[in-house]
Amino acid sequence: MTEQDAYWSIDIPGLSEKQAGMLLEYASAQFGLRGSAVDPSIWLTRHLDVGTVEAVVRRLSSEELDSEEESTVQGVRDDYSEWLDAAESAGPT
93 or 33: which carries more pLDDT confidence? 33
pLDDT at site 58? 79
Judged against a pLDDT cut of 70, whether residue 3 lies above it is answered with: no
CA angle at 25 for the pair 22 and 26, rounded to the nearest 5°: 85
The domain ranges of the chain are 1-37, 39-93
Q: What is the mean pLDDT of residues 16-20?
A: 94
Q: Residue 57: helix, strand or coil by DSSP?
A: helix
pLDDT at site 6? 65
Give the pLDDT confidence of 26-81 residue by residue, as tens digits. Answer: 999 999 998 899 888 888 888 888 888 888 877 777 678 788 888 888 888 888 88
Check: CB of residue 52 under 8 Å from CB of residue 71: no
**Whole-Å CA distances, 78 to 17, 52, 73:** 26, 14, 9
